[in-house]
Amino acid sequence: MDLDRMSVVLRPRGPWEGIDLGFALGRAWFPTLWGLWWCSALPVGLLALPLCGARADWWLLLLWWFKPLYEAPLIWWISRSLFGERSPLGRAWQLQRAAWTRHLLPYLLWRRLAARRSLNLTIGLLEGLDGAALRQRRRVLGDGAGAAWLTLICYHFEAILWGGLLLTLVYLIPTGLPEGLAGLDLGAALTDSQSWPYWLSGGFYLLACSVIAPFYCCAGFALYIGRRTELEAWDLELAFRRAAPDATAGAPEKGAARPGRRGSPRTAVSAGLLCAAVLAAWPGPPVGADPLPPLPAPAPARALIAEVLADADFGRTRTESVWTYIGPDEETAAPDPTWLKDLADFAVFLGRLVKGLLVVLAVIAVALLIRRILRDWQPGAWRRRRPARRPAPAAPESLGADADPDAAGLARAVRARLAAGDPRGALALLYRGSIGHLGRRGLRIPDGATEGECLRLAAGHPGTGDLAPLRHLTRDWQALAYAQQAPDPERIAARLDDWLRWTGSAAPAGEPRVPAGSDADGR
Amino acid sequence: MPLDTIRLNETPEGVDLGLRVAGPAPRALALAADGAIRLVILLALSPLSALSGLGLGLNLIAVFLLEWLYPVTFEVLYGATPGKRAMGLLVVHDDGTPVGLSASLIRNLLRVVDFFPLFYGVGLVCTLVDRDFRRLGDLAAGTLVVHAQRRSTGARAGRTHAGGTPAPPGLPIATQQAILAFCERARRLSGARRIELAETLLAHLPSPATGPARARGWAAVEQVEGYGTWLASGRAGD
């Protein structure tokens, strides 16, 4: 027996909890078990039909009596699949051959009415004992197992389902139908075994049996498993087998290492969010062979992160006002003085006046509006009169901006910016120049690509030359743009030299100009 | 993922609360017990019918109150009706907190729907289908029926022995718990099984660098129980 492949959690359970586990198993495996039940019950039912002379009551009794016959393959299947070995429904006949042993015989004869059938059938089928050994085994395992209650309850469940189906059908048939079609005769359905309502109700009962049977068998099996877990401490055996000490945990008392503990999804999500927030200010993963040293997170970056996290998108406070009745006010109880009455009359007069004025104003407004509409109304006029949409101002440092293809001119511009004490502008210009250069080398950069994606695309593109200058430049640019870390001018000058060498080495003259990030080149 | 009937619920403190949801079988029995209690009360009130019209009216009022307020009152005050209490069940919100008035009212008002068409037919089908064995009333009110916490039975580990053997360092928490459970449940296990289990544990622990060879037989059981004592006193004592 391989406890490691157990498909339920082993722990000591009371009988009721064991039955609950069985019902959960029955729910999880219901389709297969249900099909398996019918695989055995249908042939028996068809065989029994001529045997009992097509009398519905005898037929139903016969089918009911042979219930253990249909339950045995279920128990066999459950015992296999509990240890992770799922036989498909297509092998139903093999399952039945394996389950229909001579140990089943007592349950079809003198033990048929035993209340602990679910548990005892499981013991008899799975342990294959005989005589005194079997009796002793039944006594030990059946002690306080609640199997009799299970059988009683499941009979009632069957009855409830059967009655519920029958009653629902009766409720659904409309009254006042012509003779012959008129409602299902409940009396005949219960007593007259020659009538078609009786056959219908028998069919419903069989359906109810088939629905309850998987739960019944699983619950009996779970009782068996629970009792053996209690007697033989299977759960402890499993825990002891996994007892290899954690070499990394220095202090076991602290509970630092808890293998098997379920990771909480909420913590995972919040940790992921935090990581994402930090990583947004962090350069993308290095693409090439030489990994660059990671940037430290300085105070400005932390301040920026705090600012981003303080944004309304990450959580908000809402104030709600409600009216609550706090009881009558004592002052209103005092008798009204006459001047108050006069004031009220005046207020009413004022109100009427204002109302009249408002009505007049409204009429005038509507009239003006109609006049205006009539004057302006021309089909399609509104479309022409709408102001032309202004193009959004281009972001000065956007990636896809067309750059000056002339390397020398760009170098001049960069030096001018550096001289003017504008390192950000210089670096931005240089970076734009690089992207433009990549574009001229035939690299298509989609709109909205990040710096890291540009770098990755460039690495996968032939003919861009050695990417190390671009990689360093990108890193510097990211540090400046996202972490407010401006490099010193000498470093920018060095980057410019690198860049000139790169463009000079890789760019042949006379190349057609292809603006980076443009989609208009029709490829 | 092995199947279990425990639903873990994490509190804001990061503690996992295990709710052991109760299935249709114990709940049906609790329902039957509650029905029987109500029937007995109604039978006890039946002599009122001698007062002709007034008596009949009083009886009808009693039926109404029992039918609608009996479960709500008991659930809000004690967490469970007498029948559920007898079965060791509790009604809680699905986050594990005790059931409140509104949730209890909702789940008991919807009993009418669950009762349809006959003796909780809809409720039965619903509990069979739902993963947490909830009926419609439970789904609407956001409640669960769970097994109440049992009081710990059996001997406490570490009370019978004076000292203990220090357990090897770095034992996973699950194993430590299993060792303690082994000491608590030892009485209900047969001797041979105890030896087998103890030897299983010792075989999976690394053998000590110095000292005697791995213990066998009852010596192994004693050693594991020594670990249990040591673990228990390390927690409870100083």
For residue A184, the chain B residues in CB contact (below 8 A) are none
To the nearest whole Å, the CA of B3 is away from the closest chain A CA by 4
- Verify that B111 and B186 share a domain, yes or no: no
A–B interface: beta-carbon pairs under 8 A? 184
- Verify that B229 and B132 share a domain, yes or no: no
Residue B61 has pLDDT above 70, yes or no: yes
Is B50 domain-assigned? Answer: yes
Residue A430 · residue A407 · CB < 8 Å: no
**pLDDT > 70 in chain A, percent:** 77
The CA-based dihedral angle spanning residues A231, A232, A237, A239, taken in that order and rounded to the nearest 10 degrees: -10
- Verify that B65 and B134 share a domain, yes or no: yes
Q: Searching chain A, which residue's CA lies closest to the CA of residue B126?
A: A27
- Verify that B120 and B199 share a domain, yes or no: no
**Of the residues B147, B162, B183, the one at which a domain ends:** B147
Is B23 domain-assigned? Answer: yes
- Verify that B15 and B101 share a domain, yes or no: yes
**Tally of structural domains, chain B:** 2
What residues 70-99 of chain B have any CB closer than 8 A to a CB of chain A?
87-88
Contact state of A153 with B16 under an 8 Å Cβ cutoff: no
Give the confidence band of B171 by pLDDT, cuts at 50, 70, 90. Answer: confident
Residue B173 has pLDDT above 90, yes or no: no
Residue A511 · residue A445 · CB < 8 Å: no
- Verify that B139 and B39 share a domain, yes or no: yes
- Distance CA(B115)–CA(B124), nearest Å, equals 9
Residue A522 has pLDDT above 60, yes or no: no
Give the confidence band of A507 by pLDDT, cuts at 50, 70, 90. Answer: very low
Give me the mean pLDDT over the A216-241 stretch. Answer: 88
For residue B129, the chain A residues in CB contact (below 8 A) are 27
Please give the residue range of the domain that contains residue B44: 6-147
Q: Which of B23, B88, B168 sits opposite A19 (nearest CB)?
A: B23
- Verify that B94 and B31 share a domain, yes or no: yes
Residue B149 has pLDDT above 50, yes or no: yes
For residue B188, the chain A residues in CB contact (below 8 A) are 230-231
Q: Which of A26, A211, A253 sits opposite B234 (nearest CB)?
A: A253
ipTM: 0.86
Specify the residue for token string 């008002």.
B109
- Verify that B30 and B96 share a domain, yes or no: yes
Is B155 domain-assigned? Answer: no
Q: Searching chain A, which residue's CA lies closest to the CA of residue B21?
A: A20
pLDDT digits (tens, 9 = 90+) for A368-424: 999 999 988 776 555 555 555 555 444 444 444 444 457 778 888 888 888 888 888
A446 or A268: which leads in pLDDT: A446
Is B167 domain-assigned? Answer: no
Give the confidence band of B145 by pLDDT, cuts at 50, 70, 90. Answer: very high
Q: What pLDDT is stored for residue A246 in this prediction?
A: 56
- Verify that B94 and B202 share a domain, yes or no: no
Q: What predicted TM-score, i.e. pTM, was given to this entire model?
A: 0.61
Give the confidence band of A274 by pLDDT, cuts at 50, 70, 90. Answer: very low
- Verify that B122 and B16 share a domain, yes or no: yes
A510 or B71: which leads in pLDDT: B71
Q: What pLDDT is stored for residue A402 in this prediction?
A: 44
Is B42 domain-assigned? Answer: yes
- Distance CA(B8)–CA(B17), nearest Å, equals 5
Identify the residue among B6, B8, B9, B173 best suited for mutation to test binding to A, counting A beta carbons within 10 A and taking the highest: B173
pLDDT digits (tens, 9 = 90+) for A245-259: 654 444 433 333 344
**Of the residues B132, B147, B162, the one at which a domain ends:** B147
pLDDT digits (tens, 9 = 90+) for B113-123: 888 888 888 99
Q: What pLDDT is stored for residue A380 in this prediction?
A: 58
Q: Searching chain B, which residue's CA lies closest to the CA of residue A160?
A: B121
Is B238 domain-assigned? Answer: no
Contact state of B2 with A240 under an 8 Å Cβ cutoff: no
Give me the mean pLDDT over the B174-203 stretch. Answer: 83
Is B19 domain-assigned? Answer: yes
Residue B183 · residue B160 · CB < 8 Å: no
Is B225 domain-assigned? Answer: yes
Q: Searching chain A, which residue's CA lies closest to the CA of residue B3?
A: A8
- Verify that B188 and B111 share a domain, yes or no: no
Per-residue CA distances from B89 to B24, B92, B115 (Å): 12, 10, 20
Mean pLDDT of chain B: 83
Give the best-scoring range by mean pLDDT among A134-148, B98-112, B153-167, B201-215: B98-112
Ranges A314-318, A456-460, B4-8: which has the least confidence: A314-318
Q: What pLDDT is stored for residue B99 in this prediction?
A: 92
For residue A14, the chain B residues in CB contact (below 8 A) are 88, 147, 150
Q: Is the minimum CB–CB distance between B217 and chain A shorter than 8 Å?
A: no
**Of the residues B102, B132, B147, the one at which a domain ends:** B147
Q: What pLDDT is stored for residue A273 in this prediction?
A: 42
Q: Which of A27, A211, A219 sits opposite B25 (nearest CB)?
A: A219
3-class DSSP state of A148: helix
Residue A479 · residue A283 · CB < 8 Å: yes
Give the confidence band of A517 by pLDDT, cuts at 50, 70, 90. Answer: very low
- Verify that B184 and B132 share a domain, yes or no: no
**Residues in CB range of A156: below 8 A, 6 or more apart:** B28
Q: What pLDDT is stored for residue B172 in this prediction?
A: 79
Contact state of B25 with A20 under an 8 Å Cβ cutoff: yes
For residue B131, the chain A residues in CB contact (below 8 A) are 24, 27
For residue B8, the chain A residues in CB contact (below 8 A) are 262
- Distance CA(A301)–CA(A279), nearest Å, equals 11
Which tokens belong to B40? Answer: 């007995």
